[in-house]
């Protein structure tokens, strides 16, 4: 029988209002360990259609592990994880590939393919996954996403010629080119200066509106959380300790939650 | 002490199991649709063309040095005229394939291990996987096939240059015509010298590609692991070449020379 901690009881809001929204990702009592190191001890959360859910927490708390479980890069030890009502752990290779086409993942570093130009990076998922081979169609889609992220001139550059912020933008463009329904962002503003961080956060919001995606944004950047988040969950020691809007959590009486919102 | 030995054995079996699994994954993806032809050509260029000068110089000097080293000894027996035959047989049967394969394991296996290792560390392989593309097909199958094709070609080219090097070596201390040297060198060769030696280079090429890909693809996270992947790719590929050569020599002795 699960019992909530005092912190959870104080901060977690009534979920009744959210019950009428379609759930696209459902995570229940997810646990994951690496050897004796328990990274996710018990996390439960839903992502609703069209919402931006921010997972806030210090580094090394298992935030990235949680979203890697969503796309089947890692598998949970126990608990349930369904995406579009499909149990990720039980999907076969083909089903997982189909699911991944509907879920975009922006990696912390952008993860651009070093040996390819920006154009080749963007065409890669289209030619391999969507089996597109007509040059005019490819060009149109590549130009559309590059315009969207504000880097149309970077089309023939190599990743090594791009700045950190540009790499994130191109990484985002490469993910959005498949028109995913869910976006997972792993620390999208880490390693960027405050101005570029704000630009990326605003870009995430713009892209969410343009492509009508539901998103999970993993971050420890409060400004990014404030700009992008419809709802925030705070993660500590492998579990969620609080949930609410940015304002609700900012005004929380709980010491641990408050400690995340102390501005330097 | 006993515990350490047990751990060591279990890790060896675990590694062997992982390699078999990786091999299965390679074979499965090789016959799957959507073959990456352009990437295969690019890898053939990277692996073959870019190793050309290294293997060519090695082959040339190998033949020259063997000739120069052999002449004084052969002179004592009055058998200098056998030097071209001796050099050609030893280079084509054994020394050429093994030396070129070991050199290629240093250059190619380490480069594949480091490249895939750094792709793993920077999450490029994960990015390929979550986009729905197939990283094994794009990264692994192409590299292993390219190695399997290109190492035999490089070896044949290096063997030919070793014979030319032998001719140069023979002319440094005396005079022999090109035609006579190659007549003597090639007349001594039989089909059973060339064919098994070429077949074994196919396996050497496969081992270099497979070990490079396996070590890089399965490297740990962290920049240190890129170096570890490159290093262990060279060590393991070299070891495999020696082991495969041992097996090939035994099989050749049984089937070709019996």
A75 phi and psi angles, rounded to 5 deg: -120, 140
Cα gap A89→A192, rounded to integer Å: 34
For A52, A197, A204, A241, the CA distances from A233, given in Å and listed in that order, are 11, 20, 18, 7
Q: Kindly list the residues of chain B whose beta carbon comes within 8 Å of any beta carbon in chain A.
A: 34, 118-119, 122-124, 126-134, 138
Query: What tokens were used for A33?
Result: 């360990």
Q: Which residue of A has its CA nearest to B36?
A: A128
Average pLDDT, chain B: 91
A chain contacts of residue B133, beta-carbon cutoff 8 Å: 124-125, 128-129
B-interface mutation test, from A75, A103, A111, most B Cβ less than 10 A away: A111
Q: Kindly list the residues of chain A whose beta carbon comes within 8 Å of any beta carbon in chain B.
A: 68, 71, 73, 97-98, 100-101, 103, 105, 107-109, 111-114, 124-125, 128-129, 131, 171, 174-175, 178
For A223, A244, B176, B216, B239, the CA distances from B152, given in Å and listed in that order, are 58, 64, 30, 23, 18
Cα gap A244→A167, rounded to integer Å: 31
Cα gap B254→A247, rounded to integer Å: 81
Of the candidates A71, A105, A129, the beta carbon closest to that of B133 is on A129
A5 confidence band (pLDDT: 50, 70, 90): very low
Q: What percent of chain A has pLDDT over 70?
A: 92
The parent domain of residue B117 ranges over: 35-255
pLDDT tens for A221-258 read: 888 999 999 999 998 888 888 899 988 888 888 888 88
Cα gap B201→A258, rounded to integer Å: 66
The 3-class SS string of chain B reads CHHHHHHHHHHHHHHHHHHHHHHHHHHHHHCCCCCCHHHHHHHHHHHCHHHHHHHHHHHHHHHHHHHHHHHHHHHHCCCHHHHHHHHHHHHHHHHHHHHHHHHHHHHHHHHHHHHHHHHHHCCHHHHHHHCCCCHHHHHHHHHHHHHHHHHHHHHHHHHHHHHHHHHHHHHHHCCCCHHHHHHHHHHCCCHHHHHHHHHHHHHHHHHHHHHHHHHHHCCCCCCHHHHHHHHHHHHHHHHHHHHHHHHHHHHHHHHCCC
Cα gap A113→A121, rounded to integer Å: 6
Q: Does residue B214 surpass a pLDDT of 90?
A: yes
B chain contacts of residue A178, beta-carbon cutoff 8 Å: 131-132
User: What fold is seen in the domain A6-116+180-260?
Assistant: Rossmann fold (3.40.50)
Question: Does residue B184 form part of some domain?
Answer: yes
Residue with tokens 């050569």: B245
B3 confidence band (pLDDT: 50, 70, 90): very low
B173 confidence band (pLDDT: 50, 70, 90): confident
A104 confidence band (pLDDT: 50, 70, 90): very high
pLDDT score of B53: 95
Domain count, chain B: 1
B chain contacts of residue A111, beta-carbon cutoff 8 Å: 122-124, 126-127
Long-range pairs for B117-120 at CB < 8 Å and ≥24 separation?
B117/B215, B117/B216, B117/B219, B117/B225, B117/B226, B117/B228, B117/B229, B117/B230, B118/A114, B118/B226, B119/A113, B119/A114, B119/B216, B120/B216, B120/B217, B120/B218, B120/B219, B120/B221, B120/B225
The 3-class SS string of B22-37 reads HHHHHHHHHCCCCCCH
Residue A83: beta bridge partners? A25, A86
Question: Does residue B7 form part of some domain?
Answer: no
**Contact assessment for residue A87 and residue A75, using Cβ atoms and an 8 Å cutoff:** no
Q: What is the ipTM of this complex?
A: 0.84
Beta strands A239-244; A231-236: pairing state:
antiparallel
Cα torsion through B88, B94, B95, B98, rounded to 10: 140
pLDDT tens for B77-136 read: 888 889 999 999 999 999 999 999 999 999 999 999 999 999 999 999 999 999 888 899
For B7, B23, B106, the CA distances from B15, given in Å and listed in that order, are 12, 12, 21
- Give the residue extent of every domain in chain A: 6-116+180-260
B32 confidence band (pLDDT: 50, 70, 90): confident
Q: Does residue A184 surpass a pLDDT of 80?
A: yes
Of the candidates A73, A114, A128, the beta carbon closest to that of B124 is on A114
pLDDT score of B207: 97
Cβ within 8 Å of residue B23, ≥6 positions away: B210
Question: Degrees (nearest 5) of the Cα angle B81, B88, B57?
Answer: 115
């Amino acid at each position: 029988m699960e019992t909530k901690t005092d912190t959870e009881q104080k901060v977690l809001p009534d979920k009744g209002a959210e019950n009428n929204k379609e759930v696209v990702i459902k995570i229940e009592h997810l646990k994951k360990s690496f050897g004796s190191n328990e990274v996710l001890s018990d996390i439960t959360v839903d992502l609703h259609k069209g919402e931006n859910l921010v997972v806030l927490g210090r580094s090394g708390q298992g935030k990235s592990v949680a979203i890697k479980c969503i796309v089947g890069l890692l598998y949970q030890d126990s608990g349930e994880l369904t995406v579009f009502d499909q149990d990720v752990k039980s999907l076969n290779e083909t089903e997982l590939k189909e699911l991944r086409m509907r879920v975009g993942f922006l990696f912390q570093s952008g993860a651009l393919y070093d040996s390819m130009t920006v154009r080749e990076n963007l065409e890669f998922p289209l030619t391999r996954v969507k089996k597109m081979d007509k040059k005019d169609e490819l060009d149109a889609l590549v130009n559309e996403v590059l315009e969207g992220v504000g880097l149309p001139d970077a089309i023939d550059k190599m990743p090594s010629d791009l700045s950190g912020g540009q790499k994130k933008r191109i990484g985002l463009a490469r993910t959005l080119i498949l028109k995913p329904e869910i976006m997972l962002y792993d620390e999208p503003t880490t390693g960027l200066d405050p101005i570029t961080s704000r630009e990326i956060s605003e870009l995430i919001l713009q892209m969410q509106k343009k492509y009508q995606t539901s998103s999970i944004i993993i971050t420890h950047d409060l400004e990014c959380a404030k700009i992008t988040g419809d709802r925030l969950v705070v993660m500590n020691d492998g579990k969620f300790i609080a949930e609410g809007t940015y304002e609700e959590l900012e005004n929380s009486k709980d010491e641990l939650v408050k400690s995340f919102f102390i501005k330097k | 002490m006993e515990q350490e030995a047990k751990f060591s054995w279990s890790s060896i079996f675990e590694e062997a199991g992982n390699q078999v699994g990786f091999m299965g994954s390679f074979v499965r993806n090789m016959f799957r649709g959507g073959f990456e032809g352009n990437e295969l050509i690019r890898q053939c260029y990277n692996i073959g063309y870019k190793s050309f000068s290294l293997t060519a110089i090695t082959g040339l000097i190998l033949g020259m040095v063997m000739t120069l080293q052999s002449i004084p000894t052969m002179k004592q027996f009055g058998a200098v005229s056998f030097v071209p035959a001796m050099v050609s047989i030893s280079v084509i049967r054994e020394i050429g394939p093994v030396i070129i394969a070991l050199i290629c394991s240093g250059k190619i296996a380490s480069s594949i291990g480091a490249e895939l290792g750094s792709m793993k560390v920077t999450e490029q392989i994960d990015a390929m996987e979550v986009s729905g593309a197939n990283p094994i097909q794009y990264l692994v199958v192409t590299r292993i096939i390219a190695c399997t094709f290109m190492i035999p070609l490089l070896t044949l080219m290096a063997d030919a240059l070793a014979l030319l090097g032998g001719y140069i070596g023979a002319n440094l201390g005396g005079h022999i015509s090109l035609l006579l040297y190659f007549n003597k060198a090639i007349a001594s060769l039989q089909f059973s010298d060339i064919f098994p030696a070429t077949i074994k280079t196919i396996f050497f090429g496969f081992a270099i590609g497979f070990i490079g890909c396996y070590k890089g693809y399965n490297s740990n996270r962290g920049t240190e692991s890129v170096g570890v992947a490159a290093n262990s790719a060279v060590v393991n590929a070299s070891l495999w070449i020696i082991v495969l050569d041992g097996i090939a020599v035994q099989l050749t002795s049984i089937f070709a020379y019996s």
